[in-house]
Amino acid sequence: MIKAEHIYKNFGDIHVLKDVSMEVNKGEVVVIIGPSGSGKSTFLRCINLLEEPTKGQVQIDDQNLTELSPKQVVKVREKVGMVFQHFYLFPHKTVLENLIYAPMKVKGLSRDEAVARAKELLKKVGLFDKINQYPNKLSGGQQQRVAIARSLAMEPDYMLFDEPTSALDPEMVKEVLDVIQSLAESGMTMIIVTHEMGFAKMVADKVIFMDDGQILESNTPENFFNHPSTERAKDFLQKIL
């Protein structure tokens, strides 16, 4: 379970998040949507404390992250995978090395164990043939699939996706969404920030609409997309659908 309570985040004088609360239960898929600059990504980054909330609490399982020491936070991050808009694969490492680095370094897996796990995951995302390539030889969609596999190699309990398809060419969006969808179907608990509305409708158990640093709506996809209750959400949906 992930629980964020009354999160505030200021960058200097700019108030990016104003009292944001949310709860995600095990196995749930929550999709966060909203206009650019609404604080979606910042909120997501507050959940694994890549961004330290100015105020408020983040709880993962039975641990209150905001009360933990930096060392303990590092430990908690092991079970929260994150996928970024710009992939951030390690460019000086091959695909395989990208996948085995953290499991060996952090979880203490032997090289054989880590390699076996990496191979399995690469097969799952359909990139086994790229195992010895360097990331810059791959297309954006392939890089993002590797990035997802790299996260999964840590066997996380939760996955955070920060606009995973926003930096991709249109024809590569689907291959990445397919991977995320199959992950959702396997029961992974996920929070996804995205602009892909069709995808949101399909995978979400709950849709959260954010604007101006606040959550305006939190509803099932059917209710949200068919009967948005706020003017802001209606306006937003009209513009993008």
Sites of contact with another protein (CB under 8 A): 48, 50, 71, 74-75, 77-78, 80-82, 84, 86, 88-92, 101-102, 105-106, 134, 136, 147, 150-151, 154
CA distances from 112 to 24, 148, 171 (A): 35, 21, 35
Q: How far is the CB of 50 from another protein (least distance, A)?
A: 6
Q: How far is the CB of 224 from another protein (least distance, A)?
A: 28
Instruction: Give min distance, CB of 92 to another protein, in A.
Output: 5
Contact 194, 42 (CB under 8 A): no
Spatial CB neighbours of 230, under 8 Å, sequence gap ≥ 6:
209, 216, 217
Task: In angstroms, give the least distance from the CB of 221 to another protein.
Answer: 27
Residue 4 or 215 with smaller CB distance to another protein: 4
Give residue for tokens 């966060």.
Answer: 32
Nearer to another protein, 153 or 233 (CB): 153
Question: Least distance (Å) from another protein to the CB of residue 103?
Answer: 9
Which tokens sit at 59? 């709880």
Tokens found for residue 62: 């039975």
Nearer to another protein, 142 or 151 (CB): 151
Q: Nearest 10 degrees: CA dihedral of 85, 86, 91, 93? A: 10
Nearer to another protein, 107 or 174 (CB): 107
Shortest Å distance, C-beta 70 to another protein = 9
Nearer to another protein, 122 or 233 (CB): 122
The residue behind tokens 């043939």 is 129
Q: Which is nearer to another protein, 130 or 232 (CB)?
A: 130
Distance between CA atoms of 93 and 212, rounded to whole angstroms? Answer: 39
DSSP state at residue 133? S
DSSP E strands: which ranges in the chain? 2-11, 14-24, 29-33, 55-60, 63-64, 80-83, 158-162, 189-193, 206-211, 214-219
